[in-house]
Amino acid sequence: MPEELNSPTEHAPDSAPAPAGQEKLWYIIHTYSGFERKVAEGLKNRIQAFGLSDRFGEILVPTEEVIEHRGGKKVQSTRMFYPGYVLVQMAMNDEVWHLVKNTPRVTGFVGSGSSPTPIPENEVQEILQRIQLGGERPRLRVRFEKNETVKITEGPFASFSGVVDEVNEERETLKVMVTIFGRQTPVELEFQQVEKL
């Protein structure tokens, strides 16, 4: 994802109004942290008020479901994976640029130079896929490290403790060395089957 933010003194792109059928591209707008949902809602209201619905597509605050251990219990919550950013699909022109830029709590567009830069399609697809996967299979919001001691909470080895030997972040699995009958035995577990000690 592009990281350079335009300065507060950026100017509207020098472009003539786009034809009605212009392709809607994805852009990233930077917001005050913690106000992403309010910005998305405010932007939707402004689009309706100014009659520009035909220039906009989706407005997304990328989130994923995460599971945390709090007080010995698993709690599922929603977490933003790009805090301070909102993704907007739009057909850019001066009128659209000003509408977005003047939305309360928007600090600017992500891009380089004086005009916003659309997100490459492959990055958009990665973000959309991550949003979809985050809804289907919640991620565990815990970081495990090699040689860390954990307690197994589910499965045939529940209540056993062991030492993390390998961490696979992609698959959200651990190889934990558990002492069974006096011998160290590797056990593969999902993140949600263990908790830190």
Kindly list the averaged pLDDT for each block of 10 residues, start to end, along the chain of length 197. 38 42 87 92 95 94 74 72 88 92 91 79 85 65 84 86 88 87 86 83
Q: For 174, which DSSP code? A: E
Spatial distance between the Cα atoms of 113 and 56, rounded to a whole number of angstroms: 23
Q: Which residue has the tokens 């999902």?
A: 190
pLDDT value of residue 104: 95
- pTM (predicted TM-score): 0.60
Spatial distance between the Cα atoms of 101 and 92, rounded to a whole number of angstroms: 12
Domains plus CATH for the chain?
25-140 (3.30.70.940), 149-196 (2.30.30.30)
Query: What Cα–Cα distance (Å) separates residue 123 from each residue in 83, 109, 128, 148?
Result: 17, 17, 9, 34
pLDDT value of residue 4: 37
pLDDT value of residue 14: 40
